Chain A
Amino acid sequence: MIYLEVVRLGRLLFRASEPWSITVTAVWPRVVLQGLFFTLLGQVLGLEEHAFAGALAITMLASTVVGVADVPMADKWNRTYSRLRLSEVHIPLVFALRTLPMILHGGMAVLLVWAVAGPVSGLTLEVLPTLPIYAVMLFSTTALGLAVVAQVVGHRADVFAGNAATWLVIACSGALVPHGRLPVLDAVGAVLPVRHGLDAVRSAMAGGPWLTPLLWEAAVGLGWALVAWLAYLWQGNRARRLGLDDYS
């Protein structure tokens, strides 16, 4: 029951920072325009379906990698971080449960861009069967976001960290920069979310095998989730030991 309360609180916090009126009038139009931009940019560069699949993945990053930073940071700003340490629910689990609105928001963004930019790319139906793969990417990018913000929660670098991670994912995932252009991007992309997920999407669209890259995407997501979990636990233990837990 307490877990449902955490989820409910996460939803309330999310809606307090972003009411429906702003979601509908500012956030969704931005999502659609951004998706159209990346889709059209891909067409101009001759990337075609390569770019549309990538544009859908990029769309979710603002909600997941960047957006989830607000989950731990809200407790820092409101000076309630230390209270969380007294909770019977582990801090990493509290944060994970509170990210559900962001994950749903990211999923909605993917669907919106698919619905609007899909006809522009002419790939609406081709991409439709691959949409469940994006659900795995929602999970893996959220895990990255939580792991990244965990490293900077004691500093004033949450905006930088989340956005820098987003640009890194865009550059290294193959969303718009094809594999093989720069070996270093491919190497970094292999341990970041989205890269393997997009491989799965593109392989599925071409009628090829998609399960192995999808499992890799899930593994990368689990890896980042583990990093986040350990980071928050370590911070909690350190805060209790050294009295550093108000972050003010």
Chain B
Amino acid sequence: MIFFAAMRHQMALMRASWQFLVLLGVLQPVVYLLIVLSSNPTAATVTAVMLMSFWGSTVWSGAGILRREKMEGTLAPTMLGVRDPRLVLLGKTTGASLLILVVISATVSLFLLLSGHAVVIAMPFWFAVGLALVAVTGTAAGFLLSCLFLLSRYGPQLSALAVAPVTLLSGLLIPVSVLPGWIQPLSWVINLRWVQEFLGGAARGAPDFTALGLGAVLTVVYFVLGAVAFERVAVLARKEGTLDLS
């Protein structure tokens, strides 16, 4: 119950601060689409733009949740509350991921409609499954990064740094094959790479279930790392008292 309450609360917060939704969910994908859509776009290009925008949004909205709680003075009550604070954080990151995914999907669809570009999804069911994994991926990444960024006073700079390597190495808009050979293995641990391969395959009518499995496994790994990072935050805040909560 607390999970859904936190999710709704996060969505209400993001709707209230609509400027960030416009920035991350509308302007960002529109500019990427303008850059890449020189000719008839493929479904893979469109999903790449969606995932690029989604990752940037996840880092700035989902990952900043705990930092924002700290700024607004609600982190201490959350950490010391009766309910498990992990459920609260998980609910909030899920809410952020779902809302931003809906806004980005609507923006991309509207852009394609207005610009007269048609993208055919050969296997809509598996494409929808892939999008669901995207939402879970965003939740996991937001959960992990939110804890990590709380540990530093320089969250905004670290957030910006987190966006760059994923956009460069994940093979979304730049094929991994273009990168130097010694860098390419780094893309294996970025789950968006596998999600993108699955989504592109589902759109072409040939879903790659190995990619889906790898994406799912990496998402679980992100969740586990997030749980470890959260434990560290909890110890610093409640036992050692070295983490400023307000």
- Interfacial residues, chain A to chain B (CB-CB below 8 A): 18, 22, 26-27, 29-30, 33-34, 36-37, 40-41, 43-45, 62, 157, 159-160, 163-164, 167-168, 170-171, 176-178, 181-182, 185
The one of A18, A37, A167, A171 that contacts B174, using a Cβ cutoff of 8 Å = A37
Write out the residue numbers on chain A whose beta carbons fall within 8 Å of the beta carbon of B31.
167, 170-171
CA distance A178 to B36 in the complex (A): 11
CA distance A176 to B32 in the complex (A): 10
B110 located at the interface, meaning its Cβ lies under 8 Å from any Cβ of chain A in the complex: no
Whether A160 touches B23, Cβ cut-off 8 Å, given contacts A36-B168, A37-B174, A41-B35, is: yes
B188 located at the interface, meaning its Cβ lies under 8 Å from any Cβ of chain A in the complex: no
B35 touches A176 (CB 8 A): yes
Whether A41 touches B19, Cβ cut-off 8 Å, given contacts A29-B164, A33-B168, A171-B34, is: no
Whether A26 touches B157, Cβ cut-off 8 Å, given contacts A37-B167, A40-B174, A40-B178, is: yes
Write out the residue numbers on chain B whose beta carbons fall within 8 Å of the beta carbon of A163.
23, 27
B161 located at the interface, meaning its Cβ lies under 8 Å from any Cβ of chain A in the complex: yes
The one of A26, A45, A171 that contacts B154, using a Cβ cutoff of 8 Å = A26
For B28, B167, B168, B173, which residue has the most chain A Cβ atoms within 10 angstroms? B168
CA distance A27 to B161 in the complex (A): 7
Write out the residue numbers on chain A whose beta carbons fall within 8 Å of the beta carbon of B167.
33-34, 37
Chain B contact residues, majority secondary structure: helix
For A30, A44, A182, which residue has the most chain B Cβ atoms within 10 angstroms? A30
CA distance A22 to B27 in the complex (A): 28
A22 touches B154 (CB 8 A): yes
B157 touches A44 (CB 8 A): no
B160 touches A30 (CB 8 A): yes
* A-B pairs, 7 with minimum CB distance: A33-B164, A160-B19, A26-B157, A30-B161, A167-B27, A37-B168, A26-B161
B209 located at the interface, meaning its Cβ lies under 8 Å from any Cβ of chain A in the complex: no
Write out the residue numbers on chain A whose beta carbons fall within 8 Å of the beta carbon of B173.
41, 44
For B165, B173, B174, which residue has the most chain A Cβ atoms within 10 angstroms? B174
CA distance A48 to B121 in the complex (A): 31
A34 touches B38 (CB 8 A): no
| A to B CB contacts below 8 Å, 28 in the list | A18-B157, A22-B154, A26-B158, A27-B160, A29-B161, A30-B164, A33-B164, A33-B168, A34-B167, A37-B164, A41-B173, A41-B174, A43-B178, A45-B36, A45-B38, A157-B19, A159-B23, A160-B20, A160-B22, A163-B27, A164-B22, A164-B23, A167-B23, A167-B28, A171-B31, A171-B34, A177-B34, A181-B34
- Interfacial residues, chain B to chain A (CB-CB below 8 A): 19-20, 22-23, 27-28, 30-31, 34-36, 38, 154, 157-158, 160-161, 163-165, 167-168, 173-175, 178-179
Least CB distance from A116 to B in Å reads 12
Smallest CB gap from A62: residue in B:
B160
B164 touches A164 (CB 8 A): no
CA distance A138 to B27 in the complex (A): 23
Least CB distance from B61 to A in Å reads 12
Write out the residue numbers on chain B whose beta carbons fall within 8 Å of the beta carbon of A182.
34
Least CB distance from A182 to B in Å reads 7
Write out the residue numbers on chain B whose beta carbons fall within 8 Å of the beta carbon of A178.
38
Write out the residue numbers on chain B whose beta carbons fall within 8 Å of the beta carbon of A176.
35
Write out the residue numbers on chain A whose beta carbons fall within 8 Å of the beta carbon of B163.
30
Write out the residue numbers on chain A whose beta carbons fall within 8 Å of the beta carbon of B157.
18, 22, 26-27, 30
